[in-house]
A and B are shown apart, each in its own frame.
Chain A
């Protein structure tokens, strides 16, 4: 059994195990064991990957496995990882692990809940290891569809509306992606012969620029919908607000990264000419995302809305950096995906825990929570400081890499948009400190809150893992940055060849 396929098998086995559980408690234990194994597996993968690289293996993709799956269309089960996908797998396994413990108290239909959640995660893992566009798309759908059930059944507020909106908008994005993928497929072999979905194979083909220009917007916008590209981001505030805690965590933490990863691995990597020519349009849109999301967050009163808009801003920065086409900025994009993924998962976990105690998410109805639940409050402050890019946490590393990278361009356009994006650090500080001030500091507004208890062990575990991760990356970023750089090499080379 190869290591990569294990990432799909472990979730499926866990789901199988859950089916035989008799009560809520067993379900939780089985899920926790399964996802712990997944976390260990990710650790092993990262170690093995680093060892292979240290041993001098310079293949673009490692641990490759290629099995023909549907011969007549030349669809393969083709998996392999480079530094970037390894990093993303690490992120996913951390977030899902924390997510299981954050949903420790889900009691209604817990079996179905955990099954959907874990099934969703298997889709995400599959997406990150796929090197075949068809398999990639399949896993993408696997990751998106359970979301509908999870929000529609276990959500809060106007959950049916939100679930429908989110699913339809993402499906709209999928439709665009499918068109783009078919476009790639039918131009994958210009000299005649069998067509292919294989990413490495297509990357060697030179697709005519006008064809590229036609299909690039389909792919970039299609994946961009999931990456909260302005103006296709409005599913995010509603969807997150209605989703149950673990789903918000997983969605904002990992699923939105599928968008960024897809833009990067498929749209930009496979259609480099078009990417170069059309980048300016999307750079403008993403710059708007960055600033607009931040200003949108200032005004909100609902914790989840604040965080959703903040995610629009931070994920906007991911797409922004991807379009900068240099190694530093793109490295920053991947770092930002990982950093934002963990950070926002932490935020949503904490919001869920706070909501479970106060039964409201409106910041003006709360206050002084620092006094009654110091542990959670301190975690929230840490998450906030990480989010506003304080050194020592991962956000700083990612943002600085992006800004320095983006600013290295020699033309005024890139520099001006970079300065605009940089100015978001001030706006971010405003909304973060506003929330911290209103929610945690000051006097207690409601006497019922005096009876609130602080975090339970599973909540401490969930937040602890996430805080440990952002701090570890923030304190010693070099290894992660080098890991990603390692994967970026071939992609940048290809982009540079086109640029000259």
Chain B
């Protein structure tokens, strides 16, 4: 048996570098701290690659399946004899795949940031937070139990908070970071409640026993009912709520577009490639429970995913801030992954959706990170986020242009780029299980191609704008990651996922189905075609279309007014109608009662203090009259 205990260092190295840069970062020159952080990540990256090689190709399979290995485990906190939080490393196909995704993208982003963040204040702070994030995210994917996952889940949340609010003197960044944290925290409340329900129904937090076919979670099936649904279903719905918050699923999506206030490399790493797919990963991790014990919850996953992908794609067509377009596109693509899980079954070809979801997660990480890093290079060159202020950049930014185009083809699903393969599997899985959801996703594929090429043409083609200084290509340290990721965006689709990452860890036969693939290529080409007609040269067609769409366009442009709705709930209801009355009640009623007691005591003592006047005549008068009164009373009682 191969000893995998070194995998602990994949996680620990970023932590060590976080502490190092956090404490001593200001002692170094900025560039040095950037290089230190990046080299740390490089070691993690190499170790991850080695782990993946060992795991997929060297470790002997058990009955043809990839084993679940506990590389390291230690009890961190004990609640009861059976319930305890462990910290450890679990290696199985999805966690190993995630190690690769995270360390690759994180390494690229680190490298890129050396150039991108040059001259920014807080350079070492940026790198230490990036290391913190990478540590948390790695800890999340290798979790051996759901509580460990929750711990790192919270930590990625806080790293995201710190990085979105990196420009802390900008009010919009502060507001966005706060919003992101609170919305995801609200979702985490659901996650925690889900864990609590699991703790009483299954008496274990351990992933291996939770997903074991003979374990308590699956054996119990959907037998114990509560309010019409089984407790396992409730638990999984709550757990999914946590996942939906992190993965920006409708209606908990509102934080993600605002999160673009963070530096662009952060958007690439956290809000495109890694953290936002944590929700997908969570559902995948609990997948056997969803399929066997909580099918109703899985249906929720499918519909939420499908709706989000459509909803976000529509909004993406109307936005002008290039990062926001990409943010909505991310939501839409994660919707795809959720949907794929939602329509999947368990085992063999039934589990096609599961495999497709993981596959899409993998390919999406490359091309979406690439898109964001390109956006960063563009913003770097022209100092604006708005596509209305861009145009004709293809001559000035040749490398960025080419890599961006590759990523656009990949996300649009044009073969042989990576996105084609994974999206095709998703559509195939949807087609087999639910025609309605397939139709939605089919339409979304077209919309995706349209808005991505709208973005592409408006940035790189169209009329050249007047720039304050001529835009120039980014330095090599930024373009190298672009090129490497572009290679990934081309080749990632060739990885044989059906042999490596499947629902039951057993490989299965799978081929591209032309009946699904050809129509989906056609609709993508249609989307690209429309975008070309609209935006390649400046025309007034788009204005005409928006005018005919009228209020629907306005609503989409305002993101269907969800921000306003949330503002109404938090500000008008929670703050004005709950918190303010509570504060008033406390000061005036509760405290008023206490003050009332003291007032009564005071005033009563004021009344009776007259008795202690010190005047002898008064005492004598009271004494004599009291004595007479008593005497009369006794006489009266006596004679009775």
Binding site for B on A (CB under 8 A): 165, 168-169, 230-231, 233-235, 237, 292, 295-296, 298-300, 327-328, 368, 370-371, 385, 388-392, 396-397, 400-401, 403-405, 407-408, 418-419, 422-423, 425-426, 429-430, 433-434, 437, 440-443, 476-478, 481-482
Chain B, 158-197, contact with A by CB distance < 8 Å: what is the 0/1 string?
A: 1001000100110100110010011001101100110010
B-side interface size class = 35 or more
B76 within 8 A of partner (CB) = yes
Tell whether, in the assembled complex, residue B168 and residue A390 are in contact, meaning their CB atoms are under 8 Å apart: no
Q: Which of B79, B80, B158, B169 contacts A385 (CB 8 A)?
A: B158
Stretch from B284-292, B394-402, B417-425, B572-580 that touches the partner: B572-580
Q: Which of A407, A422, A442 contacts B189 (CB 8 A)?
A: A422
Nearest Cβ on chain B to A394's Cβ, whole angstroms: 11
In the complex, which residue of chain B has the Cβ closest to the Cβ of A444? B169
Tell whether, in the assembled complex, residue A296 and residue B582 are in contact, meaning their CB atoms are under 8 Å apart: yes
Nearest Cβ on chain B to A376's Cβ, whole angstroms: 15
- Distance of A320 Cα from B636 Cα, bound (Å): 58
> What residues on A are CB-neighbors of B189 within 8 Å?
422-423, 425-426
Stretch from B62-70, B542-550, B583-591, B617-625 that touches the partner: B583-591
> What residues on A are CB-neighbors of B76 within 8 Å?
476-478
- Distance of A396 Cα from B147 Cα, bound (Å): 12
- Distance of A92 Cα from B152 Cα, bound (Å): 31
B151 within 8 A of partner (CB) = yes
Tell whether, in the assembled complex, residue A408 and residue B200 are in contact, meaning their CB atoms are under 8 Å apart: yes
Which residues 132-148 of B sit at the A interface, judged by CB distance below 8 A? 147
Q: Which of B83, B196, B579 contacts A296 (CB 8 A)?
A: B579
Tell whether, in the assembled complex, residue B175 and residue A437 are in contact, meaning their CB atoms are under 8 Å apart: yes
B75 within 8 A of partner (CB) = yes
Q: Sample 19 A-B pairs with CB under 8 A, ordered by A number.
A: A165-B598, A230-B590, A237-B586, A298-B579, A299-B575, A299-B582, A389-B154, A391-B154, A391-B155, A400-B85, A408-B80, A408-B200, A422-B189, A426-B189, A430-B182, A433-B161, A441-B168, A441-B169, A481-B78
- The majority secondary structure among interface residues of chain B is helix
Tell whether, in the assembled complex, residue A328 and residue B178 are in contact, meaning their CB atoms are under 8 Å apart: no
- Distance of A476 Cα from B155 Cα, bound (Å): 16
Given known pairs A392-B155, A430-B182, A437-B178, the reply for A418 and B196 (CB within 8 Å) is yes
Tell whether, in the assembled complex, residue B174 and residue A234 are in contact, meaning their CB atoms are under 8 Å apart: no
Apart from A408-B199, A429-B185, A433-B178, 14 more pairs, CB < 8 Å:
A168-B598, A169-B594, A231-B590, A234-B591, A299-B579, A299-B582, A404-B83, A408-B200, A429-B182, A433-B161, A433-B182, A437-B178, A442-B168, A481-B78
Q: Which of A234, A328, A481 contacts B594 (CB 8 A)?
A: A234
Tell whether, in the assembled complex, residue A401 and residue B79 are in contact, meaning their CB atoms are under 8 Å apart: yes
> What residues on B are CB-neighbors of A423 within 8 Å?
189
> What residues on A are CB-neighbors of B154 within 8 Å?
389-391, 396
- Distance of A371 Cα from B169 Cα, bound (Å): 9
Tell whether, in the assembled complex, residue B158 and residue A390 are in contact, meaning their CB atoms are under 8 Å apart: yes
- Distance of A234 Cα from B583 Cα, bound (Å): 11
Chain B, 454-486, contact with A by CB distance < 8 Å: what is the 0/1 string?
A: 000000000000000000000000000000000
Nearest Cβ on chain B to A309's Cβ, whole angstroms: 8
Given known pairs A165-B594, A299-B582, A370-B168, the reply for A482 and B158 (CB within 8 Å) is no
In the complex, which residue of chain A has the Cβ closest to the Cβ of B22? A378
Nearest Cβ on chain B to A412's Cβ, whole angstroms: 10
Tell whether, in the assembled complex, residue B151 and residue A391 are in contact, meaning their CB atoms are under 8 Å apart: yes
Tell whether, in the assembled complex, residue B586 and residue A292 are in contact, meaning their CB atoms are under 8 Å apart: yes
Tell whether, in the assembled complex, residue B575 and residue A298 are in contact, meaning their CB atoms are under 8 Å apart: yes
Binding site for A on B (CB under 8 A): 75-80, 83, 85, 147, 150-152, 154-155, 158, 161, 165, 168-169, 171, 174-175, 178, 181-182, 185-186, 188-189, 192-193, 196, 199-200, 574-575, 578-580, 582-583, 586, 590-591, 593-594, 598
Tell whether, in the assembled complex, residue B579 and residue A295 are in contact, meaning their CB atoms are under 8 Å apart: yes
> What residues on A are CB-neighbors of B79 within 8 Å?
328, 401, 404-405
- Distance of A300 Cα from B583 Cα, bound (Å): 8
Max chain A Cβ within 10 angstroms of own Cβ: one of B154, B155, B574, B575: B154
Nearest Cβ on chain A to B12's Cβ, whole angstroms: 13
- Distance of A389 Cα from B181 Cα, bound (Å): 13
In the complex, which residue of chain A has the Cβ closest to the Cβ of B186? A426
In the complex, which residue of chain B has the Cβ closest to the Cβ of A231? B590
> What residues on B are CB-neighbors of A441 within 8 Å?
165, 168-169, 174
> What residues on B are CB-neighbors of A442 within 8 Å?
168-169, 171, 174
> What residues on A are CB-neighbors of B185 within 8 Å?
388, 425-426, 429
Tell whether, in the assembled complex, residue B182 and residue A407 are in contact, meaning their CB atoms are under 8 Å apart: no
> What residues on B are CB-neighbors of A400 within 8 Å?
77, 85, 147
> What residues on A are CB-neighbors of B598 within 8 Å?
165, 168
- Distance of A169 Cα from B154 Cα, bound (Å): 39
Tell whether, in the assembled complex, residue B178 and residue A404 are in contact, meaning their CB atoms are under 8 Å apart: no
Which 3 pairs, one residue from A and one from B, show the smallest C-beta to C-beta distance? A299-B583, A234-B591, A391-B151
- Distance of A396 Cα from B150 Cα, bound (Å): 11
In the complex, which residue of chain B has the Cβ closest to the Cβ of A480? B77
> What residues on B are CB-neighbors of A426 within 8 Å?
182, 185-186, 189
Max chain B Cβ within 10 angstroms of own Cβ: one of A169, A233, A389, A408: A408
> What residues on A are CB-neighbors of B152 within 8 Å?
391
In the complex, which residue of chain A has the Cβ closest to the Cβ of B169? A443
Tell whether, in the assembled complex, residue A478 and residue B78 are in contact, meaning their CB atoms are under 8 Å apart: yes
Given known pairs A371-B169, A390-B154, the reply for A422 and B193 (CB within 8 Å) is yes
In the complex, which residue of chain A has the Cβ closest to the Cβ of B171? A442
In the complex, which residue of chain A has the Cβ closest to the Cβ of B74? A478
- Distance of A292 Cα from B77 Cα, bound (Å): 30
Q: Which of B78, B169, B580, B583 contacts A368 (CB 8 A)?
A: B169
- Distance of A419 Cα from B192 Cα, bound (Å): 10
> What residues on A are CB-neighbors of B579 within 8 Å?
295-296, 298-299
Tell whether, in the assembled complex, residue B77 and residue A481 are in contact, meaning their CB atoms are under 8 Å apart: yes
> What residues on A are CB-neighbors of B583 within 8 Å?
295-296, 299-300
Tell whether, in the assembled complex, residue B196 and residue A401 are in contact, meaning their CB atoms are under 8 Å apart: no
In the complex, which residue of chain B has the Cβ closest to the Cβ of A169? B594
